[in-house]
Amino acid sequence: MILIADCGSTKIDWCLLNGNEKVAQIFTTGMNALLLTQEEMTKCIHDELLPHLPGYPVDEVYYYGAGIISDDIKSHVRGALQANLPSATRIEIETDLVGAARALCGRNPGIACILGTGSNSCYYDGDRVVDNVSPLGYILGDEGSGAVMGKLLVGDVLKHQLPEHLCEKFLKEYNTDRTQIINAVYRQPAANRYLAHFAPFLQKNINEPAIHDLVFNAFTAFFVRNVESYKGYKELSVNFVGSIAFVQKPVLLEAAAARGITVGTIIQNPMEGLIKYHSTK
């Protein structure tokens, strides 16, 4: 049996396959391998995953996760999985970007992009990631992400760059004010997630010209500063996974067309694509 893990910092989506058949899909607490010890990851897997796998001998594990930035970290994740799944004869650890590329492009070349709380992209040759423009995080980069769109939205509200009725609507809907926002962004942890949680306001008000322009310009910046850095980008399909790409698909397609970019697949999460990838070897 094959076990696939799509691991983020908030949750892990596990899928158990028997050939082409999905046997079970399990959700557990997320793990960022950069922030946890091998012992902590071992305990998380033991406590949250194993109770859902009684009697299922796992032969292969394919783990795609946040925080996989070095061979040492890969080794720690592999150790945590081996301790809990001793029957597995193959354990492969890859980044969430490789997972996105395999889910979106399969075994074909293309450009794979993540647009969620953060953003990322890569040139994928059908086998491996061969080029990656560093996303740089929401302060220096992450164009087109929920965090950056939230940052732009909040800045426009507090500097009165949006029509007054939208500024009032935003502050009322989130029951917040300038002081609370400044405190959350500059004095509390996880400011990127805080800013990204305003993204639904953009979707609900996308027919407002000012909101449409904000989202369109954010996607344009993503294309200019990331996708257009890849050689031959106009000859390849550009594919997307993530909640922002999925819910803002019409504006994303509009921004792509304006740059002469061909968009391929847009999906909300990578698991179905990973199931297809690993069940059609």
Supply the pLDDT for residue 124. Answer: 96
Please give the average per-residue pLDDT across 123-148, as a whole number: 92
Residues 57 and 29 in one domain: yes
Q: Are residues 173 and 230 in the same domain?
A: yes
CATH code for position 29: 3.30.420.40
Structural domain boundaries, residue 114? 105-269
With cut-offs at 50, 70 and 90, classify the pLDDT of residue 94.
Answer: very high
Q: Would you state the structure tokens that stand for residue 168, as one six-digit string?
A: 């009032």
CA distance 196 to 191: 8
Residue 159 has pLDDT above 70, yes or no: yes
pLDDT at residue 55 tops 90: no
- Asked if residue 254 is part of any domain, the answer here is yes
- Do 158 and 225 lie in one domain? The reply is yes
Tens digit of each residue's pLDDT (9 = 90 or more) over 25-41: 999 988 888 878 999 99
pLDDT at 130: 95
199 found inside a domain: yes
Same domain for 58 and 161? no
Same domain, 81 and 206: no
257 shares its domain with 141: yes
In a domain, 187, yes or no: yes
What secondary structure does DSSP assign to 63-80, as a single string?
EEETT--SHHHHHHHHHH
Across the range 107-115, mean pLDDT stands at 95
Q: Where among 60, 88, 116 does a domain terminate? A: 88
Tell me what pLDDT residue 36 has: 86
Q: Cα 277 to the chain's mean position, in Å?
A: 18
- What's the average model confidence in pLDDT over 125-138? 92
pLDDT, the chain, mean: 93
Helix (H, G, I), strand (E, B) or coil at 266: strand
Residue 276: inside a domain: no
In this structure, the answer to whether residues 130 and 258 fall within a common structural domain is yes
* Same domain? 24 vs 151: no
Share of the chain above pLDDT 90, in %: 81
Q: 147 and 206 share a domain?
A: yes
Task: Give the closest residue to 234 by CA, choosing from 54, 110, 56.
Answer: 110
| pLDDT for the residue numbered 223 | 98
Contact status, residue 150 vs residue 196, Cβ threshold 8 Å: yes
What is the per-residue burial (b if ≥16 Cβ within 10 Å, else e) of 230-245?
Answer: beebeebbbbbbbbbb
Residue 138 predicted with pLDDT over 90:
no
Question: At a CB cut-off of 8 Å and minimum separation 6, what does 225 contact?
Answer: 133, 141, 143
Tell me: do 230 and 148 sit in the same domain.
yes
Mean per-residue pLDDT for 43-50? 94
- The answer to whether residue 47 is domain-embedded is yes
Total number of domains in the chain: 2
pLDDT at 27: 94
Residue 204 lies in a domain: yes
Q: Which amino acid is at 267?
A: I
Q: Does 167 score more than 70 pLDDT?
A: yes
Q: What is the tens place of the pLDDT at every residue in 68-79? A: 889 999 999 999
In a domain, 96, yes or no: no
List of residues 6+ apart from 102 with CB closer than 8 A:
64, 270, 273, 274, 277
Nearest by Cα to 27 from 16, 41, 38: 16
Q: How confident is the model at residue 281, as a pLDDT?
A: 63
Predicted TM-score of the model (pTM): 0.88
Q: Are residues 245 and 201 both part of a single domain?
A: yes
CA 212 to chain centre: 22
117/241 same-domain check: yes
Give the domain-ending residue among 88, 118, 144.
88
- Residue 207: CATH number of its domain: 1.10.720.160
Domain end, chosen from 88, 115, 150, is at 88
207 inside domain: yes
Res. 158 pLDDT band, cuts 50 70 90: very high
